Structure 1
Amino acid sequence: MKTRFFSVISVIVLFFSLSGCGYNSMVDKRENVSGKWAQVQNAYQRRADLIPNLVNTVKGAANFERETLTQVIEARAKATSVNITSADSLTPQKFQQFQQAQDALGSSLSRLLVSVERYPELKANQNFLELQAQLEGTENRISVERKNFNDAVQDYNSYIARFPNNLSAGMFGFDPKPYFEAQAGSDRAPQVEF
């Protein structure tokens, strides 16, 4: 009877110690990171969905550079092939692969939009102008969602690093999450030549 009593008391003490060490808050913050990650993926998916329409509109322009279109198509394929299902599986290596693929797609889209400047008939095409506006809006959404994700990651990472939370975080597998970072070279202004 005494051992049963001590077992019940031990379970109650363990329950209150776990709830007092921030476990529930860590779960909430991790879920917030997962939700923000889903929004990031949603914004990137919107961009990936717009690209085929943009490519098809550009293909109609006579003598448009096929190499540029091929680069965009290949970059889109790579970007959509890197799939991270949730923030729980967001390892630094997978995250870096995802970010590099998305950065490559962004760069190829930028080259496509710059090369359009040489095609007045394409710049006057209403479908192209609408797609370009949607793409610019999507890029803004991506930027906002990346910031929201980084804010949630900062909140989560700092929470699990604080004492005594860091003790229970390590014990229950709450690992730090990676941040989105600026693309290499983005700190320098681009050279514009006329």
Structure 2
Amino acid sequence: MITLVVAGVVAVLLLLLILFAVTTYNGLVRRRGAVDNAWAQIDVQLKRRHDLIPNLVETVKGYAAHERQTLEAVIAARHHAVAAQGPQDQAAAENMLSGALKNLFALSEAYPDLKADRNFAALQDELATSENRIAYSRQYYNDAVLAYNNGIQTVPANIVAGMTGFTARVYFQTPGEERGPVQVRF
């Protein structure tokens, strides 16, 4: 009789352990999926931004054709950004592209006709909207990475995560040299 009770208790404990492992695993899979989805959303917004840039460059070319170096820098930065892989490389490439775009927009100050051009203004507004969407997508991605990384590193889920191959994800961060204070010179 006692062996039957012990066997029943062991069976219940084993069933609870299996249920815990399955539930924990499924939760980790959902969190990993949220991270992958968040990265895909960043990719969508970056593609939108990258698609706007050739139109912007063509518009500027008509007004400031002799600013070839600036235009080529934007094109090269866009190419590098499109080819970037992973959060760290993507962040560095996008920051390089943002810098090149700042130089391009600075040209509009030297060319009043360009600044007044409707196409240029519309593209500039679209790009500003894209930048806001990208910033939100990056924040959402980092929030998803935080939830996922916390999930795989906390006890007892870390046991299931370690046994099933879950690894930490990287945050989308600004490169170290760009985190410093902004230099303003007159």
Q: TM-score, normalised by structure 2?
A: 0.86
| Aligned with 1:185 (options 154, 178, 181) | 178
| Partner in structure 1 of residue 137 of structure 2 | 145
After superposition, the Cα gap between the structure-2 partners of 1:75 and 1:151, relative to the gap in structure 1 and judged at 3 Å, is same
User: Which structure has more helix as a fraction of its residues?
Assistant: 2
**Runs of 5+ unmatched residues, structure 1:** 1-8, 84-93
After superposition, the Cα gap between the structure-2 partners of 1:136 and 1:192, relative to the gap in structure 1 and judged at 3 Å, is farther
RMSD value, Cα: 1.7
| Partner in structure 1 of residue 55 of structure 2 | 53
**Runs of 5+ unmatched residues, structure 2:** 1-10
| Partner in structure 1 of residue 40 of structure 2 | 38
Rg larger for: 2
After superposition, the Cα gap between the structure-2 partners of 1:37 and 1:62, relative to the gap in structure 1 and judged at 3 Å, is closer
After superposition, the Cα gap between the structure-2 partners of 1:166 and 1:129, relative to the gap in structure 1 and judged at 3 Å, is same
Other structure's SS at 1:144 match: helix
Shift of 1:106: 1.2
1:4-153 → structure 2 map (5 Å cutoff): 13=15, 15-20=18-23, 22-83=24-85, 94-153=86-145
CA contact (8 A) 2:92 2:174 kept: no
After superposition, the Cα gap between the structure-2 partners of 1:123 and 1:64, relative to the gap in structure 1 and judged at 3 Å, is farther
| Partner in structure 2 of residue 165 of structure 1 | 157
Partner deviation per Cα, 1:80-127 (whole Å, 9 max, x = no partner): 1124xxxxxxxxxx4322221111111111111122211111001010
- Report % sequence identity: 40
Aligned residue pair count: 172
Shift of 1:17: 4.5
After superposition, the Cα gap between the structure-2 partners of 1:53 and 1:167, relative to the gap in structure 1 and judged at 3 Å, is same
Shift of 1:187: 3.8
User: AA paired with 1:153?
Assistant: V
